[in-house]
Amino acid sequence: MQQLQNYARGEWVAGTGPQAVMHHAVTGEPIAQTSSGGLDFADMLAYARTVGGPAMRALTFHQRAALLKALAKHLMERKDAFYAVSAATGATKSDSWVDIDGGIGTLFAYSSRGRREFPNETFYVEGPTEPLSKSGTFVGRHICVPLEGAAVHINAFNFPCWGMLEKLAPALLAGVPCIVKPATATSYLTEAMFREMIASGILPAGAVQLICGSAGDLLDHLGEQDAVAFTGSAHTANLLRTTPAVVSRAVRFNAEADSLNCSILGPDAVPGTEEFDLFVKEVVREMTTKAGQKCTAIRRTIVPRGMEEAVLKALVARLEKTTIGDPAVDGVRMGPLASRAQVRDVEANAQRIRAATELVYGGGDFAVVGADREKGAFFGPMLMACATPFATTEPHDIEAFGPVNTVMPYDTLDEAVELAKRGKGSLCGSLVTRQGEVARKVVLGVAPYHGRLLVLDRTSSKESTGHGSPLPNLVHGGPGRAGGGEEMGGARGVLHYMQRTALQGSPQVLVEVTREWTAGADQTTGTEHPFRKFFDDLAVGETLITAGRTITLADVEAFAELSGDRFYAHMDDEAARSNGIFTGRVAHGYFVVSAAAGLFVDPAPGPVLANYGLENLRFVKPVYPGDTIHVRLTVKQKTAKDTPEGGIPQGVVSWDVEVRNQADEPVALYTILTLVRRRAA
């Protein structure tokens, strides 16, 4: 039997004292044991704060993103070994794919997002400059900096790999060290992947630690700079969030709790339609994937009254084709639960629901292929029907964390919405319909109670990731019973581990802090055109003021001919005057932008490689024939890019562009991005 170890203060350590024993979910044989006895949790936190934290915070977002990518590649190359271990959890190959490949994919996703959406800097400037005074000498900005504590991640048993990696990815990208506490029942799989993470040598010392076994008094040692992210039952979440240290020190606590998620069949999705078939397939898939052990699984199936019989018949037909057994056997579609303890828990809660509803399928003997049902942690699907869902509370209050589902009818969409709300807060919900008005009414009605909503129809079905699949670019979490927190969601997940601080001061002081130019700050001019300078030589605030150009009627007509844009305000003087905005024919806005480029672009080959984009374009004042425009071009921000092997060293320069008229009034404001060559290292 394998002895699992903890990873604390940079060393693998076997726990002392009583051991928790883990069993093979298929055979029931003991396969591993672990303990966290002897660990000094306060010391582990101190190590994370004093060793891991400084090392991570010294890196830029782009450097942290590179670590995530390297780690993901390392794990992906070794995933076959993880699949072999995952079989002991009772997972089918597709179950393991979600857990293992899905988890590694989250690392890749956050690595990419870190390079695209965050600066090559150790902190993040959020949002625009906020004017705080009339003359512009007093302004505000928001910055986000990494917390200086540790992130404690307490994960559930159902996704030993994904559960760890989906929390690690945003926290490490934010620059915060992590202590991982997997659920003991399947911690042998987490430990196997964690060992490879450490063996890779990719992460700095102190960036990650692992506790296999009880968390003991870990939370008692948390401080105001620490954070907790928990996945599991709502009951446990409430116990942890009320830990005295968490409450008194205002420790950030994020909970993602199991919830009574629902799927609603739209009134248009009648039997015989593609949508009806999609609905049935989705409900059964959510009942049987991971044997229903998903915090996002469908527990309540809400259908139009009169369709209950057809829905139940179709669900039973698909469930009868679901082969239960050892996932290693060909044809097995659903494996066991994670442990015999889970079987007892699911059975007890399923019987409570059954007592208040009608059993339609399951609840008795069922065949198991390739394994002994009594030795393994097998539990057959159970399908109930509740004819009076507004008078029956059990399906809305009790969760059986397995392949258990209750079908209930509604008479109107308002009733469907009300039934969805009775889950008291869900991680996700789904609606199957082709009718936009149905989707709008249901979505807006249930959104306050859900963290994520899927609207499924025949158009999206081929590429849909399904009801129960959290994605790294969308938030995962929900209100009320679902825990009240959010994970992932792209940049949102990273910012959870950062402190948002409002800065106030003069524009120049804030530029010195943020390294991002803002209006009112110093602007320097020189004799050399900035397009002749390498990325390394450009300074934030460096400004080019161009010569002027007088816009003529011939320019306007030539641009109309070239572009095909003959909008009346450009071509018909009387019509332009009559619209109440202009005093006559005006120049095309895009011509103004083009003419501005002609004023500031240096045409000869040089360090500028390409135009990378244009952002936040606003036309603030019309330009009439006879007006003379000029440009103020200012280096706003510089972001160095990683150089691919054999590539050209380069960076992205953001330029603040102000196009002004003869009265020095702004007529167009925007930001352009250019790729600029860096000097060879």
Residues 428 and 558 in one domain: no
Q: Which of 121, 166, 191, 256 is catalytic?
A: 256
**pLDDT value for 630:** 97
Instruction: pLDDT band for 58, please (50, 70, 90 cuts).
Output: very high
Residues 203 and 328 in one domain: no
In terms of residue numbers, what domain contains 536?
523-677
Q: What are phi and psi of 181, to 5 degrees?
A: -125, 95
> Are the C-beta atoms of 1 and 188 separated by less than 8 Å?
no
**pLDDT value for 84:** 93
Residues 144 and 178 in one domain: yes
Collapsing DSSP states into helix, strand and coil, what is residue 473?
A: coil
In-domain check, residue 20: no
Start-to-end CA distance of the chain, whole Å, equals: 53
Residues 235 and 274 in one domain: no
Residues 347 and 247 in one domain: no
In-domain check, residue 512: no
Q: What is the DSSP letter of 355?
A: H
Residues 291 and 368 in one domain: yes
Residues 142 and 234 in one domain: yes
User: pLDDT tens across 239-293, in order?
Assistant: 999 999 999 999 999 999 889 999 999 999 999 999 999 999 999 999 999 999 9
Domain count, the chain: 3
Q: Is the pLDDT of residue 680 over 80?
A: no
We report the CATH number of the domain holding residue 167 as: 3.40.605.10
Looking at the chain, the whole-number percentage of residues with pLDDT higher than 90 is 80
Residues 339 and 378 in one domain: yes
Q: Which of 144, 178, 262, 295 is catalytic?
A: 295
> Are the C-beta atoms of 296 and 333 separated by less than 8 Å?
no
Residue 369's CB is within 10 A of a number of other CB atoms, namely 14
CA 297 to CA 98: how far, in whole Å? Answer: 14
Q: Which residue has the tokens 């292929």?
A: 369
Residues 183 and 315 in one domain: no
> Are the C-beta atoms of 596 and 632 separated by less than 8 Å?
no
Compute the average pLDDT of residues 72-79: 96
| Contacts (Cβ under 8 Å, ≥6 apart) of 242 | none
**pLDDT value for 336:** 93
Compute the average pLDDT of residues 323-329: 91
User: pLDDT tens across 409-459, in order?
Assistant: 999 999 999 999 999 999 999 999 999 999 999 999 999 999 999 999 999
**pLDDT value for 579:** 85
With b meaning 16 or more CB within 10 Å and e meaning fewer, what string describes 79-102? beebbebbbbbbbbeebbebbbbb
Known catalytic residue at 77: no
Compute the average pLDDT of residues 656-676: 95
**Token pair for residue 97?**
């794919």
What residues are paired with 618 via a beta bridge? 669
Residues 540 and 450 in one domain: no
User: pLDDT tens across 198-249, in order?
Assistant: 999 999 999 999 999 899 999 999 999 999 999 988 889 889 999 999 999 9
**pLDDT value for 364:** 86
Residue-level length of the chain:
681
CA 662 to CA 621: how far, in whole Å? Answer: 12
Edge-to-edge strand ranges of the sheet holding 178-181: 11-13, 6-8, 208-210, 178-181, 151-154, 227-232, 252-257
In-domain check, residue 650: yes
Q: What is the DSSP letter of 518?
A: -
Instruction: pLDDT band for 41, please (50, 70, 90 cuts).
Output: very high
Instruction: pLDDT band for 349, please (50, 70, 90 cuts).
Output: very high
Helix or strand holding residue 63 (H, E):
helix 61-76
In-domain check, residue 23: no
Closest CA to 590 of 614, 568, 609: 614
**pLDDT value for 681:** 60
Closest CA to 155 of 469, 487, 497: 487
CA 627 to CA 668: how far, in whole Å? Answer: 13
Q: Where are the beta strands (DSSP E) in 334-488?
A: 358-361, 382-385, 404-410, 426-432, 450-456, 475-478, 485-488
User: pLDDT tens across 520-541, in order?
Assistant: 898 898 889 999 999 999 999 9
**pLDDT value for 57:** 97
Cα–Cα distance list, 202 to 101, 207, 333, 645 (Å): 19, 10, 37, 19
Closest CA to 194 of 228, 225, 153: 153
We report the CATH number of the domain holding residue 557 as: 3.10.129.10
Known catalytic residue at 121: no
Whole-number average pLDDT of the chain: 93
Looking at the chain, the whole-number percentage of residues with pLDDT higher than 70 is 100
**pLDDT value for 199:** 96
Residues 310 and 341 in one domain: yes
